[in-house]
Amino acid sequence: MLTRWKESLPAHSSCFVIWLGPITPNIVLMDHQLVKTTLVQTKVFQKSFVYDAIRYVVPEGITNAEGDRWKFLRRLVTPCFHNQVVELLVTTMAETGKIHLKRWEQEVQVQKGLAHSINIHALISRLTLNIIMKTTLGRDLTPNSSTYHEFGSMMSYTAEVLVSPLRFLIGSYLYIRLPCLHNDFKARIKRLEKIVHVALSDALAALPLAAATEQDANKPRNLMDIMLAEHQKSGSTFTDKTLCDQLGTFLAAGHDTTAALLSFTINQICRKPNIAKRLRQEADDVLGSLETVSSDTHAVTYEHITQLHYAKACLQEGLRLDSPGPIIARQATKKTSMLSSKNQPVPIPNGTSVWLAIHLLHHDAEHWPEPETYDPERWLTKKTNRPVTSYVPFSYGARNCVGQRFAMLEAATLLSMIVQRFDIRLDENHPPLVRETALVNRPRDGLFVQMSLR
């Protein structure tokens, strides 16, 4: 099949084939027009086996659904990310960030004029997990909680399962159900599911009391309460499992990706002092003096974050160079063909996996001059001729990431607060950052930096 595909494909640089095992071909696309066609044609191109890794954790989550089921779940979760909701949650993000940064200050002990070396990626990961738990379930992550390590181990193991040769031979459904093979993994998932179930049970028990009291429209609420309220309004019926899987999807997708984005961005700005200086100056100008921001009475609000234009540009460039989502994977439900941006035909056999190579797309020199250079200035130019699908860190079309605005506001908030409080430089006593993909693209061994208080 793929031999005929190669023979029918003209020589061009818009795609190529890689094999995972002897019978699993994957057509890798790196042309913006091919990417757009794939993401728009949702009936022809549906989620591929790559998403089995997420199905293991949240079987009924929106990320895995197709067709009418996806439409139903999208209607269910969309109210959680309405502009007004996300804007109110910025205060929760900032308050949680402030608590964690105070803990960081205690860890950063300056001795004899030397800055303290620390794995900032681990600190950021714990912070973003706390934020997503607070904003999703209304629960805090205690300093000694094992939840952070449970999540990390679960995500790493899921990535290992996905590339297991045995899984390719017998299929995802059978492989994950083999007796005695995944006991620790399954037990870890059950412990994490329990956190969501307990929070949901408490929320359901509190519904009559909440209905009897008038809600403050300007008070930040968590996403679980909003989802339950929308459920009551619509009168639709669905199981607690459906609710828990959507909440679990928020938790699984909402902390590792943001932590990776912040770590990759800090890794870049540490290499360019002028960028770090400008970023800090913006934070001082917008958020107020360090003394003001550090006070218990000062609140960082959505109005502040909308003015952090340079921080947003730094993060957008970080997403371009190191997108936490390395690929978008689809599978053709029928034989089809597409045209590249250069009008070259790309035949797609029925059942073939199609991978959209985000990294290659974001490093295309035709649309990104000096693509390996970290340059936030490219995002401060209003006029650009770049095709919309030359940049897809949050996917594109109807199935784009529903939480992308939430993620960018959170990242801009935390990045500005971090650079305002700390002097950061890369620790030369540790090897440079090494990237790995474990469901998301992230620092393999963390990111070690020298940190000192301003």
Q: What is the pLDDT along the chain (454 residues), one digit of tens a residue?
A: 444 444 445 455 688 888 766 666 788 999 999 999 999 999 999 988 777 777 788 878 888 888 888 888 888 888 888 888 898 899 999 999 999 999 998 888 655 556 678 999 999 999 999 999 999 998 888 777 778 778 878 777 877 877 787 887 787 778 888 888 888 888 888 888 888 888 888 887 876 555 545 555 556 578 888 888 777 776 666 677 888 888 888 888 888 899 999 999 999 999 999 999 999 999 999 998 766 666 676 788 999 999 999 999 999 999 999 998 888 999 999 999 998 888 888 889 898 889 999 999 999 999 999 999 999 999 998 777 899 999 999 999 999 999 999 999 999 999 999 999 999 999 988 888 888 876 788 898 899 999 988 7
- Say if residues 209 and 253 touch (Cβ distance below 8 Å): no
Q: What is the pTM of this model?
A: 0.90
The angle formed by the CA atoms of residues 405, 409 and 414, to the nearest 5 degrees, is 150
State the CATH architecture for 48-321+396-453.
Orthogonal Bundle (1.10)
CATH 3.30.1490.100 fits 12-41+326-392, yes or no: no
The predicted-structure confidence for 211-227, as pLDDT tens digits, reads as follows 545 555 556 578 888 88
Instruction: Please answer whether residues 396 and 230 qualify as being in contact, where contact means their C-beta atoms are separated by less than 8 angstroms.
Output: no
Q: Which of 40, 63, 1 is nearest to 353 (CA)?
A: 1
- Our CA dihedral for 139, 193, 217, 300, rounded to 10 degrees, sits at 40
Mean confidence (pLDDT) of the chain: 85
Residue among 347, 265, 324, 368 nearest 32 (CA): 368
pLDDT digits (tens, 9 = 90+) for 340-350: 888 888 889 89
Neighbours of 378 (CB within 10 A): 17
Domain spans in the chain, listed from the N-terminal domain onward: 12-41+326-392, 48-321+396-453
- Report the chain's terminal Cα–Cα distance, integer Å: 62
**Distance in angstroms (rounded) separating the CA atoms of residues 84 and 219:** 11
Contact 449, 426 (CB under 8 A): yes
Rounded to the nearest 5°, which phi and psi values hold at 282? -65, -40
